[in-house]
Amino acid sequence: MRVARLHAAGVFQIHDEPVPTPHQDETLVRVTAVGVCGSDLHWFSEGGIGDARLDHPLILGHEFAGVTPDGQRVAVDPAIACGKCMYCLEGSPNLCENMHFAGHGSDDGALREFVAWPTRFLYPLPSSMSDADGAMLEPLGVALYAIDLAGLRPGMRVGIFGCGPIGLLVVQLARISGAIQIIATDKLPHRVDIARMMGASHAIQADAGHEISEVLTASQNRGLDVAFEVAGENEAVETAIAAARPGGRVILAGIPADDRTSFVASVARRKGLTLQLVRRMKHTYPRAIHLVEQGLIDVRSVVSHHFPFEKAVDAYTVAARREGLKIIIDLR
């Protein structure tokens, strides 16, 4: 089977490797669609993410869908939790002490023709959803978990700082959750425009924090009940904290390139803010599938580019330039 391995920052090589043999609790899945995530771009551009470094040729890709030998199309949860540690037993498999995650550290991901994956982490796709839709369920799950952490309720004022794919999904989820005002910002004009199309009541181009006055004016100087930072930039963190009302929540979902998050502590302290960091997702796939199947969330419009497997480097290069939105690599 064909396999794309990252050998060094920016260096993919195609290999021919044996098709994996599934263990007793696994199913062989023919991979059909793989999304390029912002966290993948850290591996591609920097040779690692956070304190995890590229120390061997790694197969990237954790947003994916495929087909089982009996023809069932499935979305694949990339996080293999042990189900036995304290955090799993407490209901937080995303904090598993023995986690294996596709395309991270020593665990190969989905940029290959076949994977053998635990059957319990495969979710059947309805006929109305495409393979690319199935790959989009992972970023939708992260956005859904961010909404869960925020405790979002009808009537709240919400800000989304960073309108990449996950930010745009948070915009849509905030809308169907009953937010009365959704303020979205991004540095890229095309993402600002799309945020407005997807339900933001105010879409503002970010400019080194200078947009905060526009954000506060849009909220009638009341501030935001919940501010989602989804950019991975400290400027966005600072703006989210400045825009949050006293007693509000700030949800940090972005992954900073330098593995550091900083902000003016006195502002956050005086407001008595609650800061919550997003660790992937938990218990979201069934809900995510239902939301897409019922037409409540549009994942398809978040996909801007498709590339064939042979052009994986081009796909990552375009994604690293922040062109478009979500990029899907097709293996059919």
Q: Where are the domains of the chain?
A: 2-136+299-330, 140-277
Q: Are the CB atoms for 266 and 241 separated by under 8 Å? A: no
The DSSP letter of residue 28 is E
* pLDDT band at residue 109 under the 50/70/90 scheme: very high
Q: What is the C-alpha to C-alpha distance for residues 102 and 127, in angstroms, rounded to an integer?
A: 26
* Mean pLDDT (the chain, rounded): 96
* pLDDT band at residue 135 under the 50/70/90 scheme: very high
Please give the average per-residue pLDDT across 237-264, as a whole number. Answer: 94
Q: What is the C-alpha to C-alpha distance for residues 250 and 253, in angstroms, rounded to an integer?
A: 10
pLDDT over 90 at 257, yes or no: no
Q: What is the CA radius of gyration of the chain?
A: 19
pTM of the model as a whole:
0.96
Please give the average per-residue pLDDT across 113-118, as a whole number. Answer: 98
pLDDT over 90 at 299, yes or no: yes
pLDDT on residue 209:
79
The answer as to CATH 3.90.180.10 being correct for domain 2-136+299-330 is yes
pLDDT on residue 188:
96
pLDDT over 90 at 277, yes or no: yes
Phi, psi (5° rounding) for residue 64? -155, 160
Give the bridge partners for 307, in sequence order: 329
pLDDT on residue 89:
97
Please give the average per-residue pLDDT across 99-119, as a whole number. Answer: 97
pLDDT over 90 at 275, yes or no: yes
For 140-277, which CATH class? Answer: alpha beta
| pLDDT tens, residue by residue, 198-226 | 999 999 999 887 899 999 999 988 999 99
pLDDT over 90 at 50, yes or no: no
Amino acid at 185: T
Q: What is the C-alpha to C-alpha distance for residues 306 and 5, in angstroms, rounded to an integer?
A: 19
Strands 48-49 and 52-53: antiparallel
pLDDT over 90 at 239, yes or no: yes
Q: What is the C-alpha to C-alpha distance for residues 139 and 163, in angstroms, rounded to an integer?
A: 13
pLDDT on residue 35:
98
Query: In the structure encoding, which two tokens stand for residue 180, read together?
Result: 């009365």
Amino acid at 244: A
Q: Tell me how many degrees the CA angle 295-29-292 measures, rounded to the nearest 5.
A: 5
Please give the average per-residue pLDDT across 177-197, as a whole number. Answer: 97
Q: What is the C-alpha end-to-end distance of the chain, expressed in Å?
A: 13
Please give the average per-residue pLDDT across 105-133, as a whole number. Answer: 97
Please give the average per-residue pLDDT across 112-141, as a whole number. Answer: 98
pLDDT on residue 144:
98
pLDDT over 90 at 247, yes or no: yes
DSSP code per residue over 89-125: HTT-GGG-TT-EETTBTTB--S-BSEEEEEGGGEEEP
The DSSP letter of residue 296 is S
Count CB atoms within 10 A of the CB of residue 132. Answer: 22
How many angstroms separate the Cα of 224 from the Cα of each of 120, 149, 243, 273, 322? 39, 16, 6, 11, 27
Q: What is the C-alpha to C-alpha distance for residues 34 and 44, in angstroms, rounded to an integer?
A: 15
